[in-house]
Amino acid sequence: MKLFSKLKSIDFFKKLPSDLTEATLAGAWISIVASIAMAFLFGMEFYSFLSTSSKTELIVDRSPPTDLLKINFNISFPALSCEFATLDVSDALGTKRLNLTKTVRKAPITLDLERVGAATDDTHRPAPKYDDEGRFDDEVLDIDITQPLSHENFQATLARYPIVVVNFFAPWCHWCQRLEPTWEAATKEVHDKYPEWDGRIRFAKVDCTAEVELCRSHYIQGFPSLRVFRKGVDDVYIGGMHDHEAYNGDRTKEALVAFAEALIPSAGQPHRKHHDLSSAPRTSGCNMAGFVLVKKVPGTLHFAARSDGHSFDHAWMNMSHVVHSFYFGNRPTVKKYYQLQRLHPAGLHADWADKLHDQLYVSEHTQSTHEHYLQVVLTTIEPQGGHKGSAYDAYEYTAHSHSFLSDQVPSVRVTFDLSPIQILVREISKPWYHFLTTTCAIIGGVFTVAGLLDALLYNSIKMVRKVNLGKQT
């Protein structure tokens, strides 16, 4: 009992007898206000405890050296034929990949960007073989095959024969110059074997420097271009599909003669698909869509007209284009997009990941090359308590575009440069002990302040009463 009585001496909360305390109306109002304040502050603190906040840090990019960056694109070129449209990729390490085909799909489009056929996977064709230069220099031709067709006799010539193979060429073209003696020798042999009275097949040629509109009307962009016309047109129906025919085989005399022999059975008969024939362009434009995987170093995507064994007239090239989409990485899922929108330091705009979306770039000159310079920044979102792999990498970029006159084949270049700084956004929440400490501080602080106000108000009223009582006496 003595021990318990000694413990009472260290009681921090000594009590006064109830008959020594006094309840006041002012104290009651202060108690009500203090209770409301404590309830309000406690509710706000509890809401803050349940909610999470984000912490943003700038760190050096932690991506592993072997990590590849996915670049997605969908671009329409109203004046670039799918026959020659190619995509090349290069980077600062010296890596060059020409004419990517595995992850690129092409679809023919009109000048109004309307598709006129199904998209197809791009394929790589080997360069055609040519006869040795000078092989036919000693041969004497006894027929006149040197005169090209013109717009005046083009349709009449095509309508006269069931099959006409036309060589669209340009005299300045190196590949056309190599093909010329071979073409003349092959023409002589085919015409000798199938003379005028037979009339099943004819070889002809068109000089595109003299017949510009005629060549453009058949969407000729590279030289030489070999087209097959049947009954006056180069349209065929194969498997119920409307198509055009272009020869892409070897350009030797033997190959051309063999090709003509293979076409003979189809003269006046239902069309047969030859293995050296491919779809010729039916429209002037091409839509290129797909993706590429690149190293995380500065690099360039190069869209241009290119083909082994063809030459291009720069004055005929128009690289106007519409960028439907161009973004890095993968599109976020609905859940990850919500997390990104909630935790992103500056919030998300409509074009947060695709600054080039639906942008039109027009070539004001025939030899205009367009260049887009993109500066890419990686933002990594790490949700609270997420399992491994729940983090999301969001790529954003700034875009600067311009065009200039080029001495080379006009093209579209998309140059990208990745920042070495990574933005790391972590989702954090308050620990339970912080909530407990804050709750105690709210209760104790409000109670103390209310007690001080009550004491001040009580003593002030008491003093006023004493002064008034002194005046009365």
Q: Kindly report the backbone phi and psi dihedral angles of residue 39, in degrees, each rounded to the nearest multiple of 5, phi listed first.
A: -65, -45
The answer to whether 375 touches 335, Cβ cutoff 8 Å, is no
Q: Does 82 qualify as catalytic in the annotation?
A: no
The answer to whether 321 touches 73, Cβ cutoff 8 Å, is no
Gap between the Cα atoms of 187 and 193, Å rounded: 10
Alpha helix (H) residue ranges in 208-287 = 212-217, 253-263
Gap between the Cα atoms of 50 and 46, Å rounded: 6
Pairing label, strands 368-382, 411-429: parallel
For tokens 């080997």, the residue is 126
The answer to whether 225 touches 278, Cβ cutoff 8 Å, is no
| Side-chain-side CA neighbours of residue 314 (13 Å) | 11
Angle between helices 174-193 and 253-263 (to 10 degrees): 50
Of the residues 173, 176, 215, 286, only one is catalytic, namely 173
The letter for the amino acid at 395 is Y
Beta strands in 430-466 (DSSP E): none
**Can you name the residues that pair with 166 across neighbouring β-strands?**
204, 227
- List the structure tokens of 15: 């009590």
Neighbouring residues of 435: CB distance < 8 A, sequence distance ≥ 6: 45, 46, 49
The answer to whether 304 touches 412, Cβ cutoff 8 Å, is yes
Which residues are known catalytic residues? 173
